[in-house]
């Protein structure tokens, strides 16, 4: 027991860090679902592309010598912004090329198209990095090494603080945009009823592109934060994160933006606490490797009682 | 080691693959021309079977090249005996299905007397069953899985050490030489990682070490914070990680970031330059076991590196010298079988018996004496430590694997 309480504060920090990354990726899934009722399975690869873009920017700054002279948070911000622009563009192009032509076709067609895009992006990144760097495992430069010591063994790495702050700022501004801005209002209108929205002089195609742009840009930001936190990326890094983030989006209620944030953070916490405590609680019968089973079991239980997710609304069927 | 994927630039591999296919086809052509000149029954063929295409083509090609060099050096010796020695390189694509198909084809060729291969244990095991049906001798340069020889097939031999030797060797070294008395074991839940971690744990416990925890992590994940907190809470002096370098390097790095001051011990899955790229300075002090010798320090090794570089226009890799030694063991066996047969072309059964009887062979990377299972009693295990953030690590100890053979 004493061992457990000693671990709680540190696990809380680790779980929140992981949860914020899940949350930002989950936003991309939930936004596209909200508008098109279709799960963009290529989003995990957009995340990966963003991670590569951010890492390449940081590597460039490192080789050009800017990394030492710029304050680390500024360097991180530059990397995030470039990664957001890059992956946002990729997201819009993907929508135009792979989803728009099949928008009126059955949902399954777009879904298969998304899987195709996934494979394409993985191998494209592998090809480009292989040609360019002769390796497709990239190591992200270390930006922050310091950590703040609080009582006893508890320490918060500075980079975790930056990641949390940036994640909160991103989520807060997204919420503000969706709820207050005219374009955000248009997005919500398209989500509710595409045809009626177009009757109200909303350019539905532009709004869908905008949704992909924002969702993919968030994926890019999450990718860069992930790369800085865990410092190893490869073309297949999106798969597990994508799965978990999608789960988080369903957990929180797919289509709901605050739901994706809540779902992501809860999933991160569940996973880390599951890994830390399962062994102790079950006396070694279930070890840390059962953390996903634990997290997903809780997810299933919640979905049984609340099928639309924690913050999801049961909406009537769309015509 | 055998099951490991060398994650090097994919594109390079594709280029290598194209080059190697071009290289192979031209080799076979010359071999066929020579064969038709020499005439049917005096031809003796030896195959190498390694991945020459796909993601593991680079290492497969380096083994093929090593054995090709060994064979090329001895063509004249066999000519003096009245035989036309030919090399038949094959591609198993690191795929068990392809390996078995290749094996079926090989046993149909009457001139083919022995096989050097494979790279992946998972390919070697089913393919060697086919060789056994055709009484074809196989000398493996690099298959470390226990089951390769534990099935006790008469035709299967290997010149490298076994997986169940490196776990215990690592445990002995950690306990006796590094003075680690309590350890926390992590493994990646793969056949390789869990296997080697379990072998480590059994030995470590039996010599009096204290295992304070045993947890699995998921290969492909990036966040190991929760299990590392368990390591901290357990108060262990060191972590043993059964697995491969991407996760191992991240664990090393995250331990340092979290300020958890423990030593890191790993198996040969950690033997990669990527460790330094990923973990950086955190890798200093990391210790791992390896089954491949570094030959660059010996005069014979330098001659080999020169000849290899001249012949193939590239430097040899860790297992090239094992391909070279495995081919020489094979050719010695064929030669012994020829002599035992009064100078006539021997049967495959003769070669199988002669290969198993290999004893006191002095090789480039390893000496070879096969026991009754076909395991090499003279194989070594190497302990390496990163003294600085630079690959390759320094060899700190050479341990004979024979002490870890069960019989």
The tokens 């997710």 sit on which residue? A309
Nearest residue on chain A to B214, alpha-carbon basis? A287
Q: What is the pLDDT of residue A152?
A: 65
Which of B5, B11, B58, B254 is the best mutation test for A, with the most CBs of A within 10 A? B11
Q: Is B7 in Cβ contact with A137 (below 8 Å)? A: yes
Q: Does B261 touch chain A (CB under 8 A)?
A: no
CB of B356 closer than 8 Å to CB of B123:
no
- In total, the C-beta contacts within 8 angstroms joining chain A to chain B are 110
Do the two domains B10-161+296-376 and B164-290+381-404 of this chain adopt the same fold? yes
Q: Is B259 in Cβ contact with A147 (below 8 Å)? A: yes
Q: Residue A40 contacts by C-beta under 8 Å, 6 or more apart in sequence?
A: A28, A29, A32, A33, A99, A114, A212, A215
Residue A319 banded pLDDT, cuts 50, 70, 90 = very low
Closest residue by Cα to residue A234 from A102, A44, A96:
A44
Q: Is a pLDDT exceeding 90 seen at residue B126?
A: yes
Contacts of A226 in chain B (CB under 8 A): 222
Give B162-196 pLDDT, tens digit per residue: 888 889 999 999 999 999 999 999 998 887 888 89
Q: What is the pLDDT of residue B195?
A: 86
How much is the average pLDDT of A174-201? 89
Interatomic CA distance for residues B190 and B243, integer angstroms: 8
Supply φ then ψ for residue B76, to 5 degrees.
Answer: -65, -40
Q: Is a pLDDT exceeding 60 seen at residue B385?
A: yes
- Report the Cα–Cα distance between both ends of chain A, in Å, rounded: 55
Question: A2-36 vs A182-192: helix axis angle to the nearest 10?
Answer: 80
Nearest residue on chain A to B216, alpha-carbon basis? A289
Q: Is a pLDDT exceeding 50 seen at residue B211?
A: yes
Q: Domains of chain B: which residue ranges?
A: 10-161+296-376, 164-290+381-404
Scored b (16 or more CB within 10 A) or e, B254-269 reads bbbbbebebbbbbbbb
Q: Is A239 in Cβ contact with B229 (below 8 Å)? A: no
Nearest residue on chain A to B275, alpha-carbon basis? A139
Q: Does B5 touch chain A (CB under 8 A)?
A: no
How much is the average pLDDT of B397-403? 88
* Other C-beta atoms lying within 10 Å of the C-beta of residue A167: 24
How much is the average pLDDT of B193-201? 91
Contacts of A236 in chain B (CB under 8 A): 220
Q: Is A131 in Cβ contact with B222 (below 8 Å)? A: no
Q: Does B36 touch chain A (CB under 8 A)?
A: no
- Provide the shortest C-alpha distance from residue A111 to chain B (in Å): 24
C-alpha B20 chain-centroid distance: 20
Give B225-236 pLDDT, tens digit per residue: 889 999 998 999
Length of chain A: 319
- Provide the shortest C-alpha distance from residue A8 to chain B (in Å): 10
How much is the average pLDDT of A54-69? 88
Can you read off the two tokens belonging to residue A188? 């919500």
Residue B18 banded pLDDT, cuts 50, 70, 90 = low
Interatomic CA distance for residues A48 and A162, integer angstroms: 20
Q: Is A6 in Cβ contact with B10 (below 8 Å)? A: no
Contacts of B226 in chain A (CB under 8 A): 11, 14-15, 271-276, 288, 291
Q: What is the pLDDT of residue B33?
A: 39
Q: What is the pLDDT of residue B407?
A: 65
Q: Domains of chain A: which residue ranges?
A: 19-249
Nearest residue on chain A to B247, alpha-carbon basis? A232
- Provide the shortest C-alpha distance from residue B55 to chain A (in Å): 12
Q: What is the pLDDT of residue B15?
A: 52
Out of A137, A230, A288, the one facing B222 most closely (by C-beta) is A230
Interatomic CA distance for residues B231 and B208, integer angstroms: 20
CB of B122 closer than 8 Å to CB of B92:
no
Mean pLDDT of chain B: 87
Residue B262 banded pLDDT, cuts 50, 70, 90 = very high
Residue A278 banded pLDDT, cuts 50, 70, 90 = confident
Architecture of the CATH domain B164-290+381-404: 3-Layer(aba) Sandwich (3.40)
Nearest residue on chain A to B234, alpha-carbon basis? A3
Q: What is the pLDDT of residue B362?
A: 93
Can you read off the two tokens belonging to residue A108? 């399954």
Q: Does B318 touch chain A (CB under 8 A)?
A: no
- Provide the shortest C-alpha distance from residue A196 to chain B (in Å): 44
CATH H-level, domain B10-161+296-376: superfamily = Response regulator (3.40.50.2300)
Q: Is A135 in Cβ contact with B9 (below 8 Å)? A: yes
Give B108-118 pLDDT, tens digit per residue: 999 999 999 99
Q: Does B391 touch chain A (CB under 8 A)?
A: no
Mean pLDDT of chain A: 87
Q: Is a pLDDT exceeding 70 seen at residue B341?
A: yes
Between β-strands B238-242 and B263-266, what pairing exists: parallel, antiparallel or unpaired? parallel
Residue A3 banded pLDDT, cuts 50, 70, 90 = low
Contacts of B241 in chain A (CB under 8 A): none
How much is the average pLDDT of B145-161? 93
The tokens 């076709």 sit on which residue? A105
Convert chain B into a string of H (helix), E (strand) and C (coil): CCCCCCCCCHHHHHHHHHHHHHHHHHHHHHHHHHHHHHCHHHEEEEEEEECCCCCCHHHHHHHHHHHHHHHHCCHHHHHHCCCEEEEEEEECCCCHHHHHHHHHHHHHCCCEEEEEECCCHHHHHHHHHHHHHCCCEEEECCCCCCHHHHCCCCCEEECCCCHHHHHHHHHHHHHHHCCCCEEEEEECCCHHHHHHHHHHHHHHHHCCCEEEEEEECCCCCCCCHHHHHHHHHHCCCEEEEECCHHHHHHHHHHHHHCCCCCEEEECHHHCCCHHHHHHHHHHCCCEEEECCCCCCCCHHHHHHHHHHHHHHCCCCCCCHHHHHHHHHHHHHHHHHHHHHCCCCCCCHHHHHHHHHCCCCECCCCCCECECCCCCECCCEEEEEECCCCCCCCEEEEEEEHHHHCCC
Q: Is A127 in Cβ contact with B10 (below 8 Å)? A: yes
Out of B11, B226, B253, the one facing A130 most closely (by C-beta) is B11
Residue A221 banded pLDDT, cuts 50, 70, 90 = very high
Q: Is B8 in Cβ contact with A135 (below 8 Å)? A: yes
């Amino acid at each position: 027991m004493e061992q457990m309480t000693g671990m709680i504060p540190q696990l809380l920090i680790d779980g929140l860090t992981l949860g914020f990354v899940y949350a930002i990726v989950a936003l991309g899934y939930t936004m596209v679902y909200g508008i098109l009722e279709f799960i963009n399975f290529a989003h995990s690869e957009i995340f990966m592309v963003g991670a590569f873009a951010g890492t390449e920017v940081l590597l460039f700054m490192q080789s050009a010598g800017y990394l030492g002279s710029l304050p680390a948070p500024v360097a991180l911000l530059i990397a995030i912004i470039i990664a957001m622009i890059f992956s946002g563009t990729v997201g819009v192009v993907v929508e135009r090329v792979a989803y728009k032509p099949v928008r009126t076709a059955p949902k399954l067609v777009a879904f298969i198209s998304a899987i195709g895009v996934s494979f394409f992006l993985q191998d494209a990144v592998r090809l480009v990095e292989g040609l360019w760097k002769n390796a497709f495992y990239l190591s992200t430069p270390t930006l922050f090494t310091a950590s703040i010591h609080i009582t006893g063994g508890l320490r918060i790495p500075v980079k975790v603080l930056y990641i949390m702050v940036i994640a909160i700022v991103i989520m807060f501004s997204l919420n503000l945009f969706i709820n207050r801005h005219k374009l955000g209002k248009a997005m919500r209108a398209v989500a509710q009823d595409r045809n009626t929205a177009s009757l109200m002089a909303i350019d539905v195609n532009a709004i869908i592109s905008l949704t992909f742009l924002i969702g993919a840009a968030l994926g890019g930001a999450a990718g860069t934060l992930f790369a800085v936190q865990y410092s190893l990326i490869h073309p297949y890094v999106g798969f597990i994160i994508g799965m978990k983030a999608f789960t988080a989006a369903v957990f929180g209620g797919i289509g709901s933006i605050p739901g994706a944030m809540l779902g992501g953070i809860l999933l991160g916490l569940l996973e880390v606490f599951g890994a830390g405590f399962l062994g102790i609680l079950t006396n070694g019968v279930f070890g840390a490797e059962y953390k996903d089973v634990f997290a997903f079991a809780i997810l299933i239980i919640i979905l049984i009682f609340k099928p639309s997710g924690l913050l999801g609304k049961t909406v009537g069927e769309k015509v | 080691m055998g099951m490991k994927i060398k994650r090097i630039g994919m594109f390079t591999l594709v280029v290598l693959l194209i080059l190697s296919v071009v290289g192979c086809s031209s080799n076979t052509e010359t071999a066929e021309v020579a064969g038709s000149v020499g005439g049917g029954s005096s031809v003796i063929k030896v195959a190498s079977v390694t991945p020459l295409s796909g993601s593991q083509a680079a290492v497969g090609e380096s083994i093929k090249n090593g054995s090709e060099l060994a064979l090329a050096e001895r063509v004249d010796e066999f000519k003096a005996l009245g035989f036309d020695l030919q090399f038949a390189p094959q591609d198993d694509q690191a795929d068990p299905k392809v390996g078995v198909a290749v094996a079926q084809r090989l046993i149909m060729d009457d001139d083919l007397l022995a096989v050097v291969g494979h790279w992946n244990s998972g390919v070697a095991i089913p393919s060697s069953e086919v060789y056994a049906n055709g009484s074809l001798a196989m000398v493996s340069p690099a298959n470390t899985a226990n089951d390769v020889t534990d099935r006790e097939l008469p035709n299967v031999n290997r010149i490298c050490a076994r997986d169940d030797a490196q776990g215990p060797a690592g445990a002995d070294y950690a306990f006796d030489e590094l003075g680690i008395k309590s350890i926390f074991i992590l493994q990646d839940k793969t056949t390789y990682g869990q296997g080697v971690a379990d072998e480590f744990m059994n030995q470590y416990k039996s010599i009096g070490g204290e295992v304070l925890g045993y947890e699995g992590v998921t290969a492909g994940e990036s966040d190991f914070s929760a299990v590392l907190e368990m390591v901290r809470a357990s108060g262990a002096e060191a972590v043993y990680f059964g697995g491969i370098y991407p996760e191992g390097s991240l664990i090393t790095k995250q331990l340092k970031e979290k300020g958890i001051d423990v030593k890191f011990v790993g198996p040969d899955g950690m033997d990669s330059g990527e460790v330094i790229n990923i973990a950086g300075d955190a890798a200093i002090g990391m210790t791992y076991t390896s089954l491949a010798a570094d030959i660059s320090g010996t005069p014979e090794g330098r001659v080999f590196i020169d000849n290899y570089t001249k012949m193939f226009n590239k430097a040899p890799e860790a297992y090239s010298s094992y391909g070279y030694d495995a081919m020489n063991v094979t050719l010695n066996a064929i030669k012994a079988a020829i002599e035992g047969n009064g100078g006539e072309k021997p049967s495959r059964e003769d070669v199988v018996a002669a290969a198993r009887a290999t004893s006191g062979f002095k090789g480039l990377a390893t000496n070879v004496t096969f026991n009754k299972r076909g395991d090499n009693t003279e194989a070594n295990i190497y302990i390496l430590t990163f003294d600085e953030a630079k690959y390759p690590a320094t060899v700190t100890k050479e341990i004979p694997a024979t002490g870890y053979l069960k019989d």
